[in-house]
Structure formats: structure tokens, C-alpha cells
Amino acid sequence: MTRRRPLLIVVILVVLAAGLGSVPTIAQEPPQSCNDPNKQVTLYANEKGPRGRRLGYGRKPHKPRIPGPTIHMTEGDCVQVNLVNDSKEKAGLHFHGVDYTVLSDGTPHNKGCVGPGKSRTYVVSAHRPGARPDGTIDPGSAGYWHYHDHCNGTPHGTDGIRKGLFGGLIVRRAGDPRPDRRPFVVVFNGRTINGRRAPRTPIFKANIGERIEFAVIGHGNLMHTFHLHGHRWADTRNGQLSGVDDMSAVIDNKTLGPADSFGFSVIAGEHVGEGAWMYHCHVQGHSDAGMAGLLVVRGPDGKMSASTKAAVRRWKRIEGGGHH
């Protein structure tokens, strides 16, 4: 025993030194306010549609959108989101993927709901990846996330989500490729895309060669599969491979359950050219019910070719022919 004691002391000293020298990344609680006034977002919740049966978040009062405005963050950011509830119903904000205290959880039991005519601030932050003192990896916050109501109808926001209270949240890592356009946000909810059925679903447009980005979110009670024609991406955090020998699967179809989300960026028309490329849910009964839209790849000058225009017209006519 006495012979082993010096070794034991050395081991203890090494462990202590390692502990003192490392930066604990997990012990910190997320902040409850952000100092940067530029990192403030205000969202307004309002009824939407002629009968006001839908609800949406918007950047301006009485201008709700479904999905709501996409919130952008970079790892290391803190964002203060002010929710002004201009609707006649209860609403709130609950975020996926990022850091927040229970005060910003947006749930009824944490008193995170906002009554009609009231407002409230939520604080969320995104951290960079790092190593924990024990050597395991603390993943960063980067990802294709989303936010939604957790208050309307039930304590789980079931009515709020059904009516349209949701939006995308994109957290980037420094060095991630940036798209040339605003991200295309696709929310599969019930048998709709962004609350609509073809041919009134979004028609996204880009010029050939541009980097375009999709953020895809599932909601409701159904399982979906997102498929994009003519383009494929890596099944990784942002759709990119780390090198030519990266063995990650390359896919053009991905399963999406409720509250799942993923995203990727691709080069519009790469290897396939201009045209009207469909994106849709590949559950056949869902695409037949109207869960389909278009990615229109225009020429490098931003002009749609005659054949692309004709294809878009045909698509609208065919999809407008009634759903099953």
C-alpha cells in the first residue's frame, strides 16, 4: 500500500489540475436578459383569414404569417423575443433547440403564457460547442429549430399549432455556408404545407447556381416524408459533407414526425438545370391531398424560361384539379 501512495497523489493532482484548467461550459445558466439592443425581436400574434379562424405570428401588428417570421441566430448569440398578443386568445412562445431558463419556457405551468392584449419577453441564447471537463463533447446550439405556441387550446398549444402559431429558428455556426436568399421554410402540418394545399402552397424561386436553403418542420398528428425533386443533400446538421470521404448518407427524402425539424442548403439546379421542381410529402395520400409545392429554378439572369413557365402553369392546373 505505501509503495502505491505517491502514484495516487500524482493522479489526484493531475485530475485537480485538469479540473481547474478547463472551462466549464455546462454549469452556466442561460441569461435572463440580453445586453445587445440589436438582438431584439418583436412578434405579434393575430387572427388570420377572413373568419379569423387561423392564428399567426408576424413582425408587424395585424400582419400575421403562417409560418411566423424565421428567427436567425449564430452560436454565441442571445436574443430577446417580445411577444405582443393582439389576438383574442391565449398565446405564447416555446423554443426548440436553444437555451433558456424556465422563465422563457413558454408553458402554462411555468407561467409563460400571454393573455389577449398582453405582452411578454422571452430570452433565448445559443452556445458554441466545446469539451466538458470530463472530456465528453458539449454540442453547440447550431441547427434547424423552430418555435411554437404551447398555450392555446390545451397546455400543449394543440389549438395554437393547428391554427398556425409556429415558425422557424435557424442557428448557424461560424463558418457555415450562407444561402443567397432567405431560407425557404416548409411546415408540414396536418395535410397542409404552411396551412395551404396545392396549388396554393408556396412556389419558391431561385436562379440557377444560387445557394438555397430549406428549413423543414413537422407539426400536428401525422408522420410525413419531405422529398425534393432534382436535388439531394447530406443527412447531417446542415446538409453538407465534411469532405469527399465523409460517409454520411446522401438523401433526397426525409421522414418528419411532429416537432421534428431539419434543414439543408443546396445549389439550385446543380447537375439538373432549370425548371419547375416539385417538393412534396411522399406519403402518397398526403401529396394527393395537396401537400406539394414547387421550387422554380430560373435562368442565371433571374428570368424563367418559356418551358419552365409552361410547366408551372400545367402544375397549377393539374394540382387545381381537385384533391383526394
Q: Which residues bind Cu ion (CB under 5 A)?
A: 224, 281, 283, 286
When the beta carbons of 65 and 224 are compared against Cu ion, the nearer one is 224
CB 192 to Cu ion: min, Å: 10
Confirm if 38 and 148 have CB atoms less than 8 A apart. no
When the beta carbons of 205 and 286 are compared against Cu ion, the nearer one is 286
CB 224 to Cu ion: min, Å: 3
CA–CA gap between residue 79 and residue 73 (Å, rounded): 8
Distances (CA, A) of 309 to 228, 276, 291, 294, 305: 19, 8, 21, 12, 6
When the beta carbons of 151 and 215 are compared against Cu ion, the nearer one is 215
3-state secondary structure of 275: strand
* CB burial readout 55-94, b (16+ within 10 A) else e: bbbbeeeeebbbbbbbbebebebbbbbebbbbbebbbbbb
When the beta carbons of 220 and 230 are compared against Cu ion, the nearer one is 220
CB 193 to Cu ion: min, Å: 9
When the beta carbons of 211 and 227 are compared against Cu ion, the nearer one is 227
CB 255 to Cu ion: min, Å: 10
CA–CA gap between residue 35 and residue 28 (Å, rounded): 17
CB 182 to Cu ion: min, Å: 24
